[in-house]
């Protein structure tokens, strides 16, 4: 009889613990985010590293953060990659990561019209845009120094390679992310009225990174 009462008490406590956990989860729901990236390696590697850190620290569930399937390398296509993801609207936060990357005489880059159109379409659908001008690597450079003079994409990448050991299509986590955030904000403030297509250099990647870091405190 005593053994049965003990078992019943254990089951009762177990149910109470499960209910308490459900109540806590309902009060503090896990945040969710979906990101679509222009690059197939550089940006996904960077954000996946942040995702992995959040998972290790038990701040997010395995499915809380998703990178949409990569099928396009132009800004409008990146937005389409996100929109084509099943149930993308179910994610609390929806972001695209795109570059201005002006068209180059030897090929590559994007048109001004396409870049601006992607931003306009995203805003209309309430999707956040983490743009970079000239490219995502400006976010890396700001980890080391403040730069407010215009530079070409190739010049930027060459500088990162020569001065800081950057290697394209590999995970790069050098320098200070705190300094990068400060420098990125300082750059945007220097322009006054923002014009993403013409503000070289500039980036809003820091807004996405800060949001992800805030996942750690939820």
| Domain assignment present for 138 | yes
Domain count within the chain: 1
Residue 7 has pLDDT above 50, yes or no: no
| Domain assignment present for 19 | no
Long-range CB contact pairs, 109-116, < 8 A, 24+: 109/153, 110/74, 110/75, 112/197, 114/74, 114/75, 114/76, 115/75, 115/196, 115/197, 116/196, 116/197
Tokens matching residue 141 = 């450079």
| Domain assignment present for 133 | yes
Going by pLDDT thresholds of 50, 70 and 90, the confidence category of residue 4 is low
**Can you give the residue range of the structural domain that contains 178?**
36-217
| Domain assignment present for 102 | yes
| Domain assignment present for 17 | no
Mean pLDDT on 4-12:
49
Strand 202-203 versus strand 128-133 pairing type: antiparallel
Residue 96 pairs in a beta bridge with 36, 129
Q: What is the pLDDT of residues 26-80, one digit of tens each?
A: 444 568 999 999 999 999 999 999 999 999 988 888 889 999 999 999 999 999 9
| Domain assignment present for 55 | yes
| Domain assignment present for 48 | yes
pTM for the model stands at: 0.85
| Domain assignment present for 12 | no
């Amino acid at each position: 009889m005593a053994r049965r009462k003990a078992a019943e008490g254990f089951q009762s406590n177990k149910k109470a613990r499960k209910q308490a956990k459900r109540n806590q989860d309902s009060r503090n729901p896990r945040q969710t985010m979906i990101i679509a990236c222009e690059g197939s390696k550089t940006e996904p590697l960077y954000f996946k590293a942040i995702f992995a850190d959040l998972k290790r620290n038990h701040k997010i569930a395995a499915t809380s953060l998703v990178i949409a399937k990569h099928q396009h390398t132009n800004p409008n296509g990146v937005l389409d990659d996100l929109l084509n993801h099943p149930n993308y609207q179910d994610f609390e936060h929806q972001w695209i990561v795109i570059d201005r990357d002006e068209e180059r005489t030897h090929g590559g880059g994007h048109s001004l019209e396409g870049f601006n159109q992607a931003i306009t379409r995203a805003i209309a659908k309430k999707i956040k845009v983490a743009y970079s001008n000239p490219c995502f690597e400006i976010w890396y450079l700001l980890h080391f120094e403040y730069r407010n003079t215009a530079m070409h994409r190739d010049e930027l990448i060459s500088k990162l390679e020569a001065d800081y050991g950057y290697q394209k299509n590999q995970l790069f986590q050098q320098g200070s992310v705190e300094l990068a955030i400060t420098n990125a904000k300082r750059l945007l403030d220097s322009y006054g009225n923002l014009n993403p297509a013409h503000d070289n250099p500039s980036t809003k990647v820091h807004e996405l990174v800060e949001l992800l870091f805030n996942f750690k405190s939820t």
